[in-house]
Amino acid sequence: MTATASIEGVEGWLTDAQAARLRERAAAVRAGGRIVEIGSFRGRSTIVLASAAAEGVEVVAIDPHIGSDRGPQEIAAQPALGESDHERFLANLAAAGVADRVRHVRKPSADALGDVDDPIDLLWIDGAHRYGPALDDVVRWGARVPDGGVLAIHDAFSSVGVTLALLRAVTLSARWRYVGRTGSLAEYVRAPRSAASVARQLAALPWFAKNLLIKVATVLKLRRGPWPY
């Protein structure tokens, strides 16, 4: 089963190129390791991770499914929508044949820290995109990634909250090195910071500015077309 085939028809915002990158990172985690996803929605990225993970790798998906912070401009909780996301999530995982490869923790990430063991070899963050929760995810969950482990995060240099959280806690941190990005999926490795790593992140800021303009124009209905991911 390829990641691209298995997520066909599964709603979500992860592009095929981003799925391919995530799949590679998941496949690189060795048996006995652990992959943690924050923000599963209807299972698009969960299926990528679970179908790529080697046997013996634990895959944990954290999502409260209460309909809050679902996607662009959908912040407040909408329980009925959350419940339908949950049902679709379970059905999509079953249809992809990975239901028994995923341990779903139905809680907000801030309440789930005690539900997951250390270390986390691949941390994939795509949960609440507001600054506070995004910062909390990067700092508290990121601290559990050991040297050589990977942090991948969606909507980097695209969402204001996620980008500010990254600039504050990761870009200038001595403990994260930027690997690169596929659209808004940014990848970091737990390793000493390098000057090149900081410079390459700062070089993404004009792209961030462009994305903000696109979003403003979309909200004001001055343009139609896809939200930047």
Ligand X SMILES: C[S@@+](CC[C@H](N)C(=O)[O-])C[C@H]1O[C@@H](n2cnc3c(N)ncnc32)[C@H](O)[C@@H]1O
Q: Which residue is nearest to ligand X (CB)?
A: 12
Q: Per CB under 6 A, which of residues 132..191 are in contact with ligand X?
A: 133
Give the span between the Cα atoms of 25 and 23, in whole angstroms. 5
The answer to whether residue 58 forms part of the interface with ligand X (CB under 6 A) is: no
Beta carbons of 14 and 45 less than 8 angstroms apart:
yes
The answer to whether residue 102 forms part of the interface with ligand X (CB under 6 A) is: no
Choice between 29 and 47, CB closer to ligand X: 47
The answer to whether residue 60 forms part of the interface with ligand X (CB under 6 A) is: no
Give all strands of the β-sheet with 176-182 in edge-to-edge order: 102-105, 58-62, 34-38, 122-125, 150-153, 185-190, 176-182
Choice between 18 and 173, CB closer to ligand X: 18
CB of 40 to ligand X, least distance (A): 6
Site for ligand X (CB under 6 A): which residue of 128, 134, 151, 169? 128
Angle of the 44-52 helix axis to the 16-27 helix axis, nearest 10 = 30
CB of 203 to ligand X, least distance (A): 25
Give the span between the Cα atoms of 12 and 156, in whole angstroms. 16
CB of 103 to ligand X, least distance (A): 14
Beta carbons of 121 and 33 less than 8 angstroms apart:
yes
Region binding ligand X by CB under 6 A among candidate stretches 8-16, 163-171, 179-187, 204-212: 8-16
Beta carbons of 170 and 189 less than 8 angstroms apart:
no
Rounded to the nearest 5°, which phi and psi values hold at 22? -65, -40
Choice between 65 and 190, CB closer to ligand X: 65
- Residues 26, 21, 158, 67, CA torsion sign: negative
CB of 185 to ligand X, least distance (A): 10
Q: Estimate to the nearest angstrom the gap between the alpha carbon of 15 and the chain centroid.
A: 12
Q: Per CB under 6 A, which of residues 18..57 are in contact with ligand X?
A: 38-42, 44-45
Applying CB under 6 A, the residues found at the interface with ligand X are 12-14, 38-42, 44-45, 62-65, 68-71, 85, 108-109, 126-128, 133
